[in-house]
């Protein structure tokens, strides 16, 4: 028997280790000398070096080739030929990384995507705020309860939610656990979306549970139209085999640069650095200063990058971010995720979009209708009104409509579970329900039904 020769050099290997990448790409460490905010205080912790060393050697969570595919999909969206649906928890937790919760979230996103695909008549790019969304920026370093002050919770990658000194300690070993939890989450997502469990007909069938609820009767006609379209495809002999597999991408806020840097690898095909912690990474509203460590680091990896833009963003800020993050004006490279608040969007967004468009840059515009609409309920919970969220989405579409630009996507905090965290919806959640049903350790998420309702409302607006 002849042995098949293995051409090692031709395998798409990835160089491992911070040392190797630092030698070939010293610019990846430039951020270390720049102003940086929202980082844990753990540099002198005895476990810090071991955690970084381990993360520098582990296999990548995502592959460079997949990241390139995503960039090309986002380029389509930036040019009006696809729509991005990005959703998931505000903060994932280790404890909630269970098969049930992960698959419920993926199922809900797929259900939303089917409805949106029909409404938008373009492919929907499906992306989770999942498999890495473990670090949170906070408005205060500390939290005080009943006269006791402890470090604020910064996400499971940094410390625990329990209000004790031990749990709130910044522990670098948590980065390694975040990596492994991301790996198992991604493994389940890949199995679920590649293994035939996401068949279009099945996803469509799940949606019937939503419209059979009498509170959702107003969505019945759209649901019937989708049903007819699916049956039409079936009758025409559409290749449902091909529709059994869906592309699903992972994203998170690239907040902890220790973690992001340690997971950055050089792609052997191109010699370019990729942050292999997720396909898509975004810079938050609080860390997007032009001369900050975050903007510098993310300008140097090949992943598609998002930036959150709040109501105080000037057009000059946006143009300068484009120059730093997308100097080659590459469609798909840069996504602006606006989070203006329902009260501001119609006033603030037009000049940003106008000036960016006039500059010739081709960014993808996505709305995050959650973060500008956070309020405290009378009984003391951090919440959002479904109507405010939808009003911001409508404002986003109106602005792009009036400017002739493309409203390219939706970024939402949502879950597949029946939680009570956001107020309202057709089957309304009220504040009394928070006492039993509020599970989020950070911001309030749309529950399963509210997420589907949003998809139906957006699809209705898109197909008009
Ligand atoms: C978030 O997406 O959870 C978040 C903190 O957003 P922003 O940076 O826009 O406040
Ligand atoms: Mn949030």
Closest ligand 1 atom, CA of 411?
Answer: 2
Q: Is 371 annotated as a binding residue?
A: yes
pLDDT value, residue 18: 65
The best mutation among 136, 154, 251, 308 to test binding of ligand 1, ranked by most ligand atoms within 8 Å of the C-beta, falls on 308
Give tens-digit pLDDT for 208-260.
889 888 999 989 999 999 999 999 998 998 888 878 889 999 999 999 999 99
Give tens-digit pLDDT for 379-398.
999 999 999 999 999 999 99
C-beta 284 within 6 A of ligand 1: yes
Tokens of 37: 């905010």
The best mutation among 154, 321, 371 to test binding of ligand 1, ranked by most ligand atoms within 8 Å of the C-beta, falls on 371
Structural domains in the chain, CATH included, are 29-198+245-463 (3.20.20.70)
C-beta 252 within 6 A of ligand 1: no
**Under-70 pLDDT residues of the chain:** 1-19, 464
pLDDT value, residue 19: 66
Tokens of 96: 């909630």
DSSP assigned state of 453: H
C-beta 288 within 6 A of ligand 1: no
pLDDT value, residue 22: 83
Confirm whether the ipTM is greater than 0.85. Answer: yes
Cα–Cα dist 439/125, whole Å: 28
Cβ count within 10 A of residue 313: 21
pLDDT value, residue 20: 74
Residues 145, 148, 149, 155: is their CA dihedral positive or negative? negative
Residue 334 belongs to what H/E stretch? strand 334-338
pLDDT value, residue 15: 55
Residue 117's closest CA among 203, 24, 234? 203
Residue 141's closest CA among 168, 177, 172? 168
Cα–Cα dist 56/179, whole Å: 11
- Ligand 1 atom 6: the closest Cα is on which residue? 284
Tokens of 265: 């690898």
Would you call 397 exposed, middle or buried from its count of C-beta atoms within 10 A (0-12, 13-18, 19+)? middle
The best mutation among 253, 282, 374 to test binding of ligand 1, ranked by most ligand atoms within 8 Å of the C-beta, falls on 253
C-beta 309 within 6 A of ligand 1: no
Do 135 and 259 contact (CB within 8 A), yes or no? yes
């Amino acid at each position: 028997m002849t042995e098949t020769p293995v051409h090692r050099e031709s395998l798409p290997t990835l160089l491992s280790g911070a040392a190797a990448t630092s030698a070939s790409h010293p610019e990846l460490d430039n951020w270390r000398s720049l102003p940086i905010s929202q980082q844990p205080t753990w540099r002198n912790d005895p476990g810090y070096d071991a955690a970084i060393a381990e993360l520098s050697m582990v296999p990548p969570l995502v592959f460079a080739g997949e990241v390139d595919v995503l960039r090309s999909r986002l380029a389509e969206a930036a040019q009006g030929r696809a729509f991005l649906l990005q959703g998931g928890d505000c903060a994932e937790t280790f404890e909630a990384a269970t098969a049930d919760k992960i698959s419920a979230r993926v199922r809900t996103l797929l259900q939303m995507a089917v409805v949106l695909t029909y409404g938008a008549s373009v492919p929907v790019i499906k992306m989770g705020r999942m498999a890495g969304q473990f670090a949170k920026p906070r408005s205060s370093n500390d939290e005080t309860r009943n006269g006791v002050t402890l470090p604020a919770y910064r996400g499971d990658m940094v410390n625990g939610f329990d209000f004790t000194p031990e749990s709130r300690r910044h522990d670098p070993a948590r980065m390694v656990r975040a990596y492994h939890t991301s790996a198992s989450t991604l493994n389940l997502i890949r199995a679920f979306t590649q293994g035939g469990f996401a068949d279009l007909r099945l996803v469509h069938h799940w949606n019937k549970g939503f419209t059979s609820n009498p509170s959702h009767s107003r969505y019945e006609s759209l649901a019937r139209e989708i049903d007819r379209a699916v049956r039409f495809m079936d009758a025409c002999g559409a290749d449902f085999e091909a529709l059994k597999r869906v592309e699903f991408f992972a994203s998170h806020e690239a907040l902890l640069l220790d973690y992001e840097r340690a997971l950055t690898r050089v792609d052997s095909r191109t010699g370019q650095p990729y942050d292999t912690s997720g396909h898509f990474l975004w810079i938050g509203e609080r860390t997007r200063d032009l001369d900050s460590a975050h903007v510098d680091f993310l300008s140097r990896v090949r992943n598609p990058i998002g930036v959150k833009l709040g109501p105080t963003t000037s057009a000059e800020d946006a143009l300068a971010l484009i120059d730093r993050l997308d100097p080659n004006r590459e469609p798909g490279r840069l996504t602006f995720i606006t989070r203006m608040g329902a009260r501001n969007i119609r006033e603030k967004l037009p000049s940003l979009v106008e000036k960016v468009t006039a500059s010739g840059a081709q960014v993808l515009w996505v709305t995050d209708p959650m973060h500008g609409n956070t309020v405290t309920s009378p009984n003391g919970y951090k919440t959002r009104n479904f109507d405010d969220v939808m009003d911001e989405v409508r404002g986003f579409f109106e602005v792009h409509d009036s400017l002739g630009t493309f409203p390219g996507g939706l970024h939402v905090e949502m879950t597949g579970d029946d939680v009570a965290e956001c107020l309202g919806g057709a089957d309304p959640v009220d504040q009394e329900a928070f006492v039993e049903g509020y599970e989020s350790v950070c911001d309030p998420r749309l529950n399963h039904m509210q997420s589907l309702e949003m998809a139906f409302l957006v699809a209705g607006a898109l197909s008009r």
